[in-house]
Amino acid sequence: MDEYLAPTLFIESDHPAVIEFARTSAGNGGAIDRAVRLYYAVRDGIGYNPYCYTFERDAYRASMILEKGQGFCVQKAILLAAAARAVGIPCRVGYANVVNHLTTRRLRELLRTDLFVFHGYNELFIEGKWVKSTPAFNKSLCDKFGIRPLDFNGRDDSIFHPLDLKGRRHMEYVHDYGSFPDFPIDLMIEESMRYYPHLAEMMKSRDAGGGTTETDPELPWVSDSGADGDAENS
């Protein structure tokens, strides 16, 4: 279990800011109680923003994600992994390709597909077993889009719902890459360029300019904690 408790380049469980966030959010109690509190602290305290997608490596450090207060699924999963490890809960990061049948028009135009490559999630080792959790979409975002927020009880897997509250198709898992002790950024870039080759030049110029200025009128840019942030449906 050591590799799932150790700090890494991206999962900075030894960073002072991450340790403070983890201890404050987790509180006291057993592993289940602490894991659940951490999950909701990341799900609702860090606004979901798909336009934080970048090839800049520092943007995937847990301390940077915490400082920015927003991120997309990969970044939020990194922060949750770091926070869990900081309080002694083994955690790893996993990745899958999903079809989002309810994505916004802006994102569909940008990606030229409804396929979201390298969606990030977590697996936490609690009471003798690995349990999946998906802290991507904060509750206010789910309320806006009419989808069920993903709850987490520390005992059962929490993954995307196939249908929204109106019975429309929502998320469809089509490929799983498995789980990793640290964020495999080179694999993410490789897969992103395989599925989205048209984005290569845009990513280079955007990252060179210091990040994204993308906006999406369909999205509420605020986290449930009240901190400024972006949000979306990926």
Condensed to tens digits (0 to 9), the pLDDT of residues 189-233 reads 999 999 998 887 777 666 655 555 455 555 554 456 543 333 333
Contact 154, 131 (CB under 8 A): yes
pLDDT-above-70 percentage for the chain: 86
Token code pair at residue 233:
């449906």
Cα–Cα distance, 65 to 68 (Å, whole number): 5
Calculate mean pLDDT across residues 114-138.
Answer: 95
Token code pair at residue 21:
């966030």
Calculate mean pLDDT across residues 106-115.
Answer: 84
* Residue with tokens 């395989």, as numbered in its chain: 194
Say which DSSP state 52 is in. Answer: G
Contacts of 158 (CB under 8 A, 6+ apart): 39, 131, 132, 133, 134, 150, 151, 152
Cα–Cα distance, 143 to 145 (Å, whole number): 6
Say how many CA atoms lie within 13 Å of 50 toward its Cβ. 22
Mean of the per-residue pLDDT values for the chain? 86
Contact 1, 31 (CB under 8 A): no
| Nearest one of 89, 53, 47, 91 to 66, comparing CA atoms | 47
What is the phi-psi region of residue 176: left when phi exceeds 0, alpha when psi lies from -120 to 50, beta otherwise? Answer: beta
Question: Residue 228's pLDDT is what?
Answer: 35
pLDDT range class, residue 114, cuts 50, 70, 90: confident
What is the value of pTM for the model shown? Answer: 0.87
Q: What are phi and psi of 180, to 5 degrees?
A: -140, 150
Calculate mean pLDDT across residues 126-144.
Answer: 93
Note the pLDDT tens digit of each residue in 10-65.
Answer: 999 999 999 999 999 999 999 999 999 999 999 999 999 988 888 999 999 999 99
Contact 63, 92 (CB under 8 A): no
* pLDDT at 144 exceeding the cut of 90: no
Question: Residue 205's pLDDT is what?
Answer: 64
* 40-44, 137-141, 144-148, 173-177: range with lowest mean pLDDT: 144-148
Residue with more model confidence, 172 or 200? 172
Question: Residue 218's pLDDT is what?
Answer: 54
